[in-house]
Structure 1
């Protein structure tokens, strides 16, 4: 039972972590073929990218680049905070009662009360273990 609680707490922590985390991955295509995929960074080029024409060139022909990059982002949740302004009266009463009872669990008594402090034990007239022949091993 204890290991089940630990495993379930561990799994719930991962669910919260991955639901709030944002991911991005980049893909580099050369024509219709996927060349590279990169997570959290830009994908590497295949080296076949066309150079842009300079202003001094006398060539007016524009060649289309066969390579393309696609960047996809997966956004995580950002609103995990509970807004206490929107609680109903019953929910507010429950929160107050739960907090009060939870905090009272950890209060300790200032002094230890012993009821037999002023009383002495009874006098033993006979040894009952020997009389009834009952011995603990």
Structure 2
């Protein structure tokens, strides 16, 4: 149970961090093929080794100026988080404490059945008072 709470807490931390942070993914395409991809920085453009390769289709060559393309994906972070305060009044605190204490102790069983008057003798009644005063329960 404790490890489950820790996993949930860490996942919520990462969710808030991802929602509030911003980043950019930059991609460089040559001949409609992804050449370089970078996160937080600009992607590198075609280097001399790629320009020296031969292209069998001849539709797009690395020597052409308009063949390469840069694309970027920008994820904007949000700053509209609201800070909440948890203020508990004394009456609510006493009620919750009493409620949880009573609820937890509700399910505790006794070790044995305790009868507090087991060792005491009943009182002696010398006369029947109902008959003496002629008072009957109906």
What is the TM-score when the length of structure 2 is the normalising length?
0.47
Radius of gyration: which is bigger? 2
What is the TM-score when the length of structure 1 is the normalising length?
0.47
